């Protein structure tokens, strides 16, 4: 049976895991690659706030992967992002986050893959790490498939299967267990193959920018999933997305010249939410990419700068060597033009970064701060930021939500900087100093998702237009 014939509209499903480390990212990439190998157009998505997995999705699928995060964006925005970017595709594949039921706390499903799947009305293909298991896999499957009766399970993907005999034992355990629900059917058993492993480092997997996926690896992933999973059965178990009727085009308005905003994009600065870029462009921005690693000058005609997060600490020596561009960015900021920097971009605006080599490397010097890498992460979790005064994000008390995850910490405070943000985490309002504003430059360790407040995107573009 040809899956393409079964999916005249866009089918959609979630790939979730029993726990972090069970192999769901590799399985997700393999399923995406196998579906593409069958001639299907695959729209990739990532549950939660992660930046790295979407870079790998995009490399496999040939199109941007968008984050779906109801806590940051709100439920309606999460649905809208799925439908907007799945339109025109044959299949939408959503990779989950952490374990399927893991969220922002131990007592609530909020922020979990399960909550997202139920919100979107999508079934889950559940990845189980079957390594070193036999009959116990049935107990594992029973727990996960019965824990939340409202969660639709499309089937089980047993990963890291050691041999044909191991596969037979696992299949026997699942198929002969009388207590397992019908949803606990096996979609496939994936043999363990250490050659398919993805490299990782302190923030997670290595990005596609730093370690481009080899076409041969993608082809092997496609065969691994295509030969061992019943993808036709999976697609037949999935609903087709119901797309709303396209809105009528508004009457033509006076053409406004786009605002040229430079955006750092290279191996050092690659942590961007794809929806943020769309919102900035919808607000009138012409996003002009440049590389702080390779470009010696800024692109001409810029009215603002956006410096996303990434791994500047791993490229600190090269960033430091590009002294001319560092000086130009400092002058751009000193001239009062809007500069927005998140996490790695914020570190780049400090006096220096001390990277893994233990040496301080000079950076742009906008903020009299020095970033030093720590052995353990300095912060991790969702954040809600509220501005305490007017800024280029909007008037005082503008709210936006985002996420924070970094291993560096400033070793000094800039006496000329007053924090802009009041911050709330899952425990409530904090005393965290955040949102460091100096002139018309704003740096923060928090990655904001602008779908949480699209007006902030419009405000930033308009502030750049006025400069």
Q: How many helical (H) and strand (E) elements, i.e. helices and strands, does the chain have?
A: 15, 24
Q: DSSP for 362-427?
A: E---SEEEEEEE-SS-SEEEEEEEEESS-BTTBSTT-EEEEEEEESEEESS--TT-EEEEEEEETT
321: left (phi over 0), alpha (psi -120 to 50) or beta: alpha
> Contact at 8 Å (CB) between 125 and 91?
no
Distances (CA, A) of 145 to 23, 42, 79, 80, 103: 18, 27, 24, 28, 18
Beta-bridge mates of residue 159: 129
Separation of CA 99 from chain center: 16
Among the listed residues 10, 73, 270, 343, the single catalytic one is 343
Cite the DSSP H helix spans in 213-343: 215-228, 231-236, 274-282, 316-321, 323-334
Place of tokens 């353990």: 376
Identify which of 162, 173, 111 has the alpha carbon closest to the alpha carbon of residue 139.
173
Q: Please give the structure tokens belonging to residue 347.
A: 């570190």
Residue 22 catalytic?
Answer: no
394: left (phi over 0), alpha (psi -120 to 50) or beta: left
State the catalytic residues: 343
């Amino acid at each position: 049976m040809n899956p393409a014939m079964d999916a005249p509209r866009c089918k959609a499903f979630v790939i979730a895991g029993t726990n972090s480390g069970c192999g769901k990212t590799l399985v997700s990439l393999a399923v995406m690659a196998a579906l593409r190998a069958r001639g299907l157009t695959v729209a990739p998505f990532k549950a939660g706030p992660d930046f790295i997995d979407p870079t790998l999705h995009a490399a496999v699928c040939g199109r941007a992967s968008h984050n779906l995060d109801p806590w940051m964006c709100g439920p309606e925005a999460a649905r809208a992002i799925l439908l907007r970017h799945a339109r025109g595709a044959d299949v939408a594949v959503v990779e989950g986050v952490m374990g399927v039921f893991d969220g922002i706390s131990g007592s609530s499903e909020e922020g979990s893959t399960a909550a997202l799947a139920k919100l979107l009305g999508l079934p889950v293909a559940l990845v189980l790490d079957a390594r070193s298991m036999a009959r116990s896999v049935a107990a594992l499957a029973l727990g996960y498939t019965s824990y939340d009766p409202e969660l639709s399970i499309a089937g089980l993907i047993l990963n890291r299967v050691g041999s044909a005999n191991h596969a037979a034992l696992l299949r026997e355990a699942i198929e002969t267990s009388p207590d397992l629900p019908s949803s606990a059917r096996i979609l496939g058993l994936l043999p363990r193959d250490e050659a398919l492993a993805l490299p990782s480092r302190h923030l997670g997997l290595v990005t596609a920018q730093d370690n481009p996926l080899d076409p041969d690896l993608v082809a092997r992933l496609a065969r691994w999933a295509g030969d061992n999973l019943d993808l036709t059965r999976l697609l037949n178990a999935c609903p087709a997305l119901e797309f709303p009727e396209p809105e009528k085009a508004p009457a033509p308005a006076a053409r406004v010249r786009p605002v040229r905003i430079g955006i750092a994009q290279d191996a050092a600065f690659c942590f961007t939410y794809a929806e943020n870029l769309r919102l900035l462009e919808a607000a009138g921005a012409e996003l002009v990419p440049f590389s702080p690693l390779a470009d010696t000058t800024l692109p001409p005609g810029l009215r603002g700068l956006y410096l996303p997060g990434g791994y500047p600490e791993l490229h600190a020596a090269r960033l430091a060597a590009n002294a001319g561009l560092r000086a130009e960015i400092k002058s751009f900021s000193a001239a009062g033009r809007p500069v927005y920097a998140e996490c790695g971009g914020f570190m780049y605006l400090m006096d220096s970064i001390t990277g893994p080599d233990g040496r301080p490397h000079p950076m742009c010097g906008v903020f009299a701060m020095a970033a030093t890498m720590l052995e353990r992460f300095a912060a991790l979790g969702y954040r809600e930021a509220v501005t305490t005064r007017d800024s280029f994000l909007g008037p005082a008390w503008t709210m936006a939500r985002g996420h924070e995850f970094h291993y560096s910490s400033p070793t000094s405070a800039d006496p000329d900087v007053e924090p802009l943000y009041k911050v709330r985490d899952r425990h409530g309002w904090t005393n965290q100093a955040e949102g460091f504003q100096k002139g018309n430059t704003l740096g923060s360790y928090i990655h904001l998702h602008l779908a949480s407040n699209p007006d902030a995107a419009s405000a930033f573009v308009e502030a750049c237009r006025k400069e």
